[in-house]
Amino acid sequence: MKRSKLFYSLITVLIIAAAGFYTIDTDSKEASVFSMPDFTGTTDVTPSEQQSAGTLAELNNALVEIAEQAMPAVVTVRVTQTVRVQENPFSRFFGNPRGDDEPQERERRGLGSGVIVSQDGYILTNNHVVENANEITVDLNNGESYDGEVIGRDPQTDIAVVKIDAQNLEALPIGNSDQVRVGEMVMAIGSPLGDYLANSVSKGIISAKDRAIGIIEGGQGYETFLQTDAAINRGNSGGALINMDGELIGINSAIASRSGGSDGIGFAVPSNLAQSVMKSLIENGNVVRAQLGIYGRDIDRTLARALGLDSTQGIVVNSILEDSPAERSGLQEGDVVKTINGKKIQNYANFRTNIATSNPGDEVELGIIRDGESRKVTVTLGELDQEQTASVQDTDDRMEKNLGFRVDDLTENIAQQLELEPGLEGVVVTNINRGSNAAQEGLQRGDIITKVNKEAVTSVSEFRDAINELADEENPVVLLQVITQGINRYVAFEL
Beta bridge partners of 315: 298, 337
At 260 the pLDDT is 61
Per the domain annotation, does 353 fall within a domain?
yes
Q: What is the pLDDT of residue 372?
A: 87
- Do 142 and 265 share a domain, yes or no? yes
Is the same domain home to 103 and 116?
Answer: yes
What is residue 146's predicted lDDT score, i.e. its pLDDT? 94
Q: Where a domain ends, among 270, 286, 302? A: 286
Q: Same domain, yes or no, for 438 and 459? A: yes
- Candidates 191, 202, 207, 237; catalytic one: 237
Q: pLDDT tens string for the chain (495 positions)?
A: 444 444 344 334 343 333 333 332 333 333 333 356 776 767 666 666 666 667 788 888 888 889 889 899 999 999 987 766 655 555 554 555 555 555 566 777 888 899 999 999 999 999 999 988 889 999 998 889 999 999 999 999 999 999 999 999 999 999 999 999 999 999 999 887 766 677 789 899 999 998 888 778 766 788 889 999 888 877 788 999 999 999 999 999 988 766 666 677 889 999 999 999 999 899 888 888 999 999 888 888 888 888 888 899 999 888 888 899 999 999 998 899 999 999 999 888 889 888 988 889 999 999 999 988 999 999 999 998 765 444 334 455 556 667 888 887 787 667 776 778 888 889 988 778 877 888 888 898 888 999 998 889 988 878 888 888 887 776 678 889 999 888 888 888 887
Following DSSP, what letter does each residue of 110-136 receive, concatenated?
EEEEEEE-STT-EEEE-HHHHTT-SEE
Has residue 9 been placed in a domain? no
Q: Tell me: do 141 and 225 sit in the same domain.
A: yes
Quick check: is 1 in a domain?
no
For residues 190-209, b (16+ Cβ closer than 10 Å) or e, as one string? bbbeeeeebbbbbebebbeb
Distances (CA, A) of 218 to 43, 388, 442, 466, 471: 37, 18, 18, 21, 20
What domain count does the chain have? Answer: 3
For residue 413, the enclosing domain spans: 393-494
Tell me, yes or no, whether 169 lies in a domain: yes
Inter-residue contact 38 to 118 (CB < 8 Å): yes
- Does 6 map to a domain? no
User: How far apart, in whole angstroms, are the C-alpha atoms of residue 335 and residue 493?
Assistant: 44
> Beta strands of 86-184 (E only): which ranges?
104-116, 122-125, 135-139, 145-147, 149-154, 159-163
CATH code of the domain in which 333 resides: 2.30.42.10
Q: What pLDDT was estimated at residue 259? A: 60
What type of residue sits at position 289?
R
* Domain closes at, from 355, 383, 411: 383
Alpha-carbon dihedral sign for residues 212, 216, 222, 223: negative
Q: Look at residue 471 in the predicted model and tell me its pLDDT.
A: 73
Question: Do 68 and 92 belong together in one domain?
Answer: yes
* Residue 158 annotated as catalytic: yes
Nearest Cα neighbor of 450 from 440, 438, 441, 463 is 463
Q: Which of 113, 118, 154, 158 is catalytic?
A: 158
Write phi, then psi, for 333 (nearest 5 degrees): -60, 135
Question: In the prediction, which pLDDT does 28 show?
Answer: 33
Q: Among 354, 383, 412, where does a domain finish?
A: 383
Task: Name the packing angle between helices 460-471 and 395-403 (round to 10°).
Answer: 60
Please tell me which residue in 113, 118, 128, 436 is annotated as part of the active site.
128
Q: Which residues contact 196 (CB under 8 A, 6 or more apart)?
A: none
- The answer to whether residues 50 and 149 belong to one domain is yes
Residue 210 appears among annotated catalytic residues: no
Torsion of CA 261, 431, 291, 329, to 10 degrees: 120
Question: Is 458 a domain residue?
Answer: yes
Examine the domain organization and report whether 345 and 399 are in the same domain: no
Residue 24 DSSP one-character state: P
459 catalytically annotated: no
Instruction: Report the pLDDT value the prediction gives residue 118, as an integer from 0 to 100.
Output: 93
Helix (H, G, I), strand (E, B) or coil at 262: coil
What span, in angstroms and rounded, lies between the C-alpha atoms of 41 and 275? 13
